[in-house]
């Protein structure tokens, strides 16, 4: 389905300019809400076990596996039963749809020769919405992990830099003296 008239195409462009960012905001909020639930569970379990790293890893693992089951494995079985697709076609459709690539080579609930139950379209829309939100959760979680890693690397690298500066402060290291002399002799960069 696509707009065929000029007015419809123009409307589609303006609708997308506002609709896509709004959709991303909503999906991001739902993903962050899922992340808050995951963190609350993790904090609760940390209080019970007193093993922070192990508990967080376990909660993240369960979150990923349950999301994979809920948004890939279960829908894959449903698509095999209702669409008549093979295992590989169903998993391909799940990934292509939830990653928003959407080539359109497989479209669920669109075979005119099949009579789909009424709940099927609602289930499809819910699966896509919450599956996209789950991917937003994964993206938010990945950002969180990368920010923590960046912080740890800065602390580690900053500590090493301070050790190197403290070690070379006496001026007895000839390598340091050569580097300092090279820096003085370098011409300024023309802008």
> Which CATH number fits the domain that encloses residue 34?
1.10.287.70
156 found inside a domain: no
Query: What pLDDT was estimated at residue 131?
Result: 92
Residue 178 lies in a domain: no
Q: How many domains does the chain have?
A: 1
pTM, full prediction? 0.65
* 181 found inside a domain: no
Tokens for 69, please give them: 């089951």
Residue 83 lies in a domain: yes
User: What does the alpha-carbon distance between residue 96 and residue 46 come to, in Å, rounded to a whole number?
Assistant: 36
47 is in which domain, residue-wise? Answer: 10-149
Count of helices and strands (H, E) across the chain: 6, 0
pLDDT (0 to 100) of residue 22: 93
Q: For residue 137, what pLDDT is reported?
A: 79
In a domain, 189, yes or no: no
First to last CA, the chain: 53
pLDDT at 166: 67
- Would residue 191 count as lying in a domain? no
Which residues, 6+ apart, have CB-to-CB distance to 100 below 8 Å?
132
Task: Tell me the pLDDT of the chain (191 aa) as tens digits.
Answer: 688 899 999 999 999 999 999 988 998 888 888 888 888 998 898 888 878 778 888 888 898 889 989 999 999 999 999 999 999 999 999 989 988 888 889 999 888 888 888 899 999 999 999 998 888 778 777 888 889 889 988 888 877 766 666 665 544 554 444 444 444 444 444 44
Decide: 132 and 118 in contact? Cβ < 8 Å. Answer: no
Q: How many Cβ atoms from other residues are within 10 Å of residue 28's Cβ? A: 16
């Amino acid at each position: 389905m696509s707009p065929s008239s000029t007015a419809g195409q123009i409307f589609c462009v303006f609708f997308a300019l506002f609709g896509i960012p709004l959709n991303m905001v909503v999906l991001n909020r739902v993903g962050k809400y899922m992340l808050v639930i995951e963190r609350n569970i993790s904090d609760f379990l940390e209080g019970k076990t007193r093993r922070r790293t192990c508990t967080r890893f376990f909660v993240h693992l369960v979150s990923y596996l349950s999301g994979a089951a809920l948004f890939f494995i279960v829908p894959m079985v449903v698509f095999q039963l209702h669409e008549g697709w093979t295992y590989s076609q169903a998993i391909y459709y799940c990934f292509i749809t939830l990653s928003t690539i959407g080539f359109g080579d497989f479209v669920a609930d669109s075979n005119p020769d099949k009579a789909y139950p009424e709940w099927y379209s609602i289930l499809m829309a819910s699966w896509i919405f919450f599956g996209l939100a789950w991917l937003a959760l994964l993206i938010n979680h990945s950002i969180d992990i990368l920010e923590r890693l960046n912080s740890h690397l800065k602390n580690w690298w900053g500590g090493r830099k301070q050790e190197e500066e403290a070690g070379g402060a006496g001026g007895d290291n000839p390598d340091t003296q050569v580097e300092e002399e090279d820096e003085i002799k370098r011409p300024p960069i023309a802008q």
